[in-house]
Amino acid sequence: MKKPLFTLILCTAHSFPCLAGEIELEQITIKKSSWNQPNQGVWTFSQKAQEASPRLSLEEMIDYSSSIDLRKRSAFGIQQDVSLRGSVFEDTFVNLQGVQINDPQTGHFNLEIPLTSADLEQVEISKNAQKINFAPKRPKSEGLLLKTGFGNHALREQLFSFNFPLQEANSRLSIEHKTSKGDRQDTDFEVYNFSFHSLWEEQDKKVEFLFGSTERDFGADSFYSSNFPHEEEHISQRFFSLLAGLKKDIFTYNNTIYLRRHSDKYLLDRHDPSFYTNYHTTYVYGLKSQLDFYNDMFFAIGIERESIDSTNLSKHYRTKRGFSLGVEDKRMAKLVCDIEAGVDYYEDAGYQENAHFGLAYLLREDLKCGFSFDRLWRAPSFTELFYISPANRGNSDLAVQESDNYELGMDYFVENEFLLSLSGFTRRQKDTIDWVRNTSLGPWRAENVGEVDVYGCDFYSQVRFKSSFFNSFSLDYTYLDLDRDNPYNFSKYVFDYNRHKIVGILGLELAGYSINLIGSYSKPLGREEYITFDIKAKKHLKGFTFELEGVNLFNRSYEELQDIKGPGRLVKGSISYTF
């Protein structure tokens, strides 16, 4: 059994931002308060940025960060794998309102966010901590949103969102429906999203309840194997969280209980369901308690249980218990630091440590440098441990994957006008989990492939113009290099990454329309490079909002995943009314 190693900076996985301030597409707004805090590693996509970005699903906006490689297995965000600075989709920690919602069956389901497009307040990408947090809007006492949209491939969308008082609590109820024939054969889909969010708070107390649901029925052409172009899948997810908070003098105490249920029905051939059909149901539920005191110190404990009942993987469960303590935004003249320390006990894996240390120094009012360190770990998914099929074989002897992440960066900032950011990073990863094989005809097998070293850099610049026509322009670039010291001849995921990615965003104002033009260049290792162009145009008129958005406007043919064609041209128009 592994013994816990207590060091100065042991901690639970926590973010340390890479870029200073908020990145917005419609209008660049960098808050001075953010600039003066140790946030050397987070991108924040605000509500305004969401509204200004072309996106055909709730999650797709994160692909406008060059550090993100969003692998779309189908159009409209039906299923997406997320890679952050070269990490595979299993390695990225996805959170909803601060609760981790990674699926223990497989990371293919991590980005199925159970909210409607009317519910999201902001998305934070914590690069060095490999974490993405989706934060819902606070409910209001009143307000109604009605929206309908249509697009190519017989796309139809309807959205209803209603804010109302419920006794003494502000509440919101949202319902969303989407359907399409898909952009290629056997990628048709129908999606229902539902959420209910209620918040009651007084001066020193609050209770917050969130329920989210997503139902997805879709054709899955070649999603998991190019040998089977007629796959089909049916997904159902429910998420509950209840938070009770109390604030007294120098103390704040929050308790959160949560439950995530996910079911998956998978057909290898939708035209012959009896040929091969799997059923999987996972549960993740737990309790988090955190005590904040003296404004910048905290202590937290948590317990979580994961279980699966599957026709292929059988029944399994595991439990995690842990604690963390630390200091947030501790100021010492021009220095600001974050420190966390904690240990988890994970069933079948023993004691595991996480670490975070962040330090920022203001060289001048407009110049900042920062350093961050994160120690992270992840357990193998149930699929990696137990899945058995002719093409893929799990491995019940897999060890926990561990990594140490380092980042050093500098930001130059001129308020409301200009931001320039440059950072270098490295990741030292042990017991890396990948699907590998030595011959092209053999089955893929989950293995710990040893150490993987990741090196890279991020460059970001943005400028806001005073012109009445040009609004803003930003340029984002990420370079990655992974050490290929791999004893296996073929790697399915770890060494399939973007060597280069560039995202340029130009914001315009024309005849009362707000327009954003986005170009994205990707050079995957071992596959052809490609460039895509997207657009979003919108106009407000007496409570109505008219929107036109399109992705891959020139219908570029490319692959985001080996042997899976990327989405072609997708165009959508919509009209909404708010009152």
The band of 1, judged by pLDDT with boundaries at 50, 70 and 90, is very low
Which H/E stretch holds residue 174?
strand 169-180
**Does the pLDDT at position 530 exceed 70?**
yes
| Tally of CA atoms within 13 A in the half-sphere of 406 that contains its CB | 7
Residue 172 lies in a domain: yes
CA-based nearest residue to 207, from 256, 152, 137: 256
130 Cβ neighbours under 8 A, 6+ residues apart:
13, 84, 85, 87, 91, 92, 93, 374, 376, 405
Per-residue pLDDT of 119-131, as tens digits, reads 999 898 999 999 9
Per-residue pLDDT of 177-190, as tens digits, reads 999 998 888 889 99
| Top-confidence residue, 574 or 490 | 574
Q: For residue 165, which amino acid is it?
A: P
Residue 257 lies in a domain: yes
Distance CA 198, CA 114 (A): 16
Residue 8 lies in a domain: no
CATH of the domain at 128: 2.40.170.20
Least-confidence region, from 37-41, 71-75, 547-551: 37-41
CA-based nearest residue to 225, from 567, 568, 563: 563
Residue 14 lies in a domain: no
* Average pLDDT of the segment spanning 26-49: 58
Per-residue pLDDT of 393-451, as tens digits, reads 999 999 999 999 999 999 898 877 888 999 999 999 999 999 999 888 888 999 999 99
Contact criterion met (CB below 8 Å) for 250 and 275: no
Residue 4 lies in a domain: no
Q: Which two tokens stand for residue 492?
A: 């399915």
**Does the pLDDT at position 28 exceed 50?**
no
pLDDT at 40: 54
255 Cβ neighbours under 8 A, 6+ residues apart:
243, 244, 245, 287, 288, 289
Residue 16 lies in a domain: no
Report how far apart, in Å, the C-alpha atoms of 244 and of each of 99, 131, 134, 200, 420 are. Answer: 14, 24, 20, 10, 41
Sign, CA torsion 39/113/287/106: negative
Residue 176 lies in a domain: yes
Contact criterion met (CB below 8 Å) for 518 and 535: yes
Distance CA 187, CA 232 (A): 9
Contact criterion met (CB below 8 Å) for 100 and 255: no
Q: What phi, psi does 296 have (nearest 5°)?
A: -130, 5
Per-residue pLDDT of 353-369, as tens digits, reads 999 999 999 898 889 89
Q: Which two tokens stand for residue 390?
A: 């002719």
The count of domains in the chain is: 1
Residue 408 lies in a domain: yes
**Could you tell me how many helices (H) and strands (E) the chain has, helices first?**
3, 35
Distance CA 370, CA 348 (A): 37
Query: Which residues constitute the domain of residue 167?
Result: 32-578
Q: Which residues of 150-159 are buried (b: 16+ CB within 10 A; e: fewer)?
A: ebebebebeb
